[in-house]
A and B are shown apart, each in its own frame.
Chain A
Amino acid sequence: GEDVEQSLFLSVREGDSSVINCTYTDSSSTYLYWYKQEPGAGLQLLTYIFSNMDMKQDQRLTVLLNKKDKHLSLRIADTQTGDSAIYFCAERMDSSYKLIFGSGTRLLVRP
């Protein structure tokens, strides 16, 4: 089945690291994505990882993929107040064009 789950809320202090977690159910997923959505705005692609990778780093962002457990995480180093937003995990199966999104994790960065 198609299902992506995320925790609803995360609060961190400015300068700390944030870790946002996601689990997915379809083992045939080929690409997994992280999108950021600020209030009243569309989705901004942050990063993605191909299913044959374990880790991908892009500046302050680190994505970890545990394919055995179907677990994906996004780590944001040195979290800033501008990182406050909703973060969506999404999967795409090899046989489909569509993205399956989680319900989003609201990240609040406290000064």
Chain B
Amino acid sequence: DAGVTQSPTHLIKTRGQHVTLRCSPISGHKSVSWYQQVLGQGPQFIFQYYEKEERGRGNFPDRFSARQFPNYSSELNVNALLLGDSALYLCASRSRGRLAGVQETQYFGPGTRLLVL
């Protein structure tokens, strides 16, 4: 079975531009989360989507947006790029939608490495 896939693998943009990152979850997974990992730090939560609805949002500005499609794939959009947006963007898919009392694990894709010049 294919794991979580992300595209593109690498991307170079300049300040002020817009970027769209894509993620396909593991087959059968309905929940997708996005994380930003700046060099030398742990991943920071950006968004979580389940069944095409936003279910959680981290402490990121409105320049960051996302959506989930009927096939459960997802896009992360970042407008007006800043140098500080340079990072590895990770997508994770999760096997279950409910929280309480249900075993669940999140599986991460290889990430998209974004460099903003």
Contacts and interface: CB of A to CB of B under 8 A. Distances in A.
A96 B110 CA distance: 24
A102 B44 CA distance: 10
Interface residues of B, number: 30
A24 interface: no
B18 interface: no
Contact of B42 (A31, A97, A102): A102
A96 B59 CA distance: 14
Contact of B105 (A48, A88, A100): A48
Interface of B: 4, 31, 33, 35, 40-45, 48, 50, 55-56, 58, 88, 90, 92, 94, 99-100, 103-111
24 contacts: A33-B105, A41-B110, A42-B88, A42-B110, A43-B43, A43-B92, A45-B107, A48-B105, A50-B103, A88-B42, A88-B43, A95-B99, A96-B56, A97-B33, A97-B50, A97-B94, A97-B99, A98-B56, A98-B58, A99-B35, A99-B106, A101-B43, A103-B40, A104-B42
